[in-house]
Amino acid sequence: MGPMRTIVYADGGCDPNPGPGGWGAVIQAPSGTIELYGGERATTNNRMELTAAIRALEHFPEGAAIEMRCDSQYVVKSVTEWMRGWKARGWRTATGPVKNIDLMQRLDALAASRDVRWTWVRGHAGEAGNERADRLATLGRREALTGKASGETTLPPADAGLAPAPAPTQPVQAAQPLQAAQPVPAKTVQVALSADLANALSRAAGRAGITPQAYLEDAVRLALELKPPGVARVRAELQKAS
């Protein structure tokens, strides 16, 4: 039998891409589940996926035995299939320099000094650790937009595995145990959208793997948190980055 491996879920995302993004990692350590998250205001999906894996590996000492579960084939195949050829060619692909070379080299160095098994998992398929890492990435993106720092939360061991995720109305606060939100009575507000905006909303929700209703609620909640000056500032920064 091989060494007992600590299971880690890592995920990242960006919306729009490129644009503001976040990353999250769930480390199922024997002493308790550790959750890491953060984000950047101007980045890409692939950079956030790589960052999630890097931040998770940085948490472990050299020689640690880890099973890294990612829903990004870009990350998993980069490490397990493509990286050896890139290094042999001086960190170049057949068409030019390796993209995101700074993160790729950091990931390579971390993985080389640890015993890592890389596993691809299907995203949004109901695997609790992957779903939680995805929610942490969303939290990291939101906090990057509001100017907050990255966070870390440690949860005590639970017989049922991961603690229940907080409801969207109560975001995780860094370095505090997660609490389930109390149910809030729903209040329906009719919102009319143009056909173009409704189609764009449907496509974006599909990419995010959630319903258009949930996507719209998250967007409205974020806009309310930022307030008009914050929304204007973020829009200006995105225009500069595009």
Active site residue ranges: 11-12, 49, 71, 124, 134
The first and second tokens of residue 119, run together, are: 């596993």
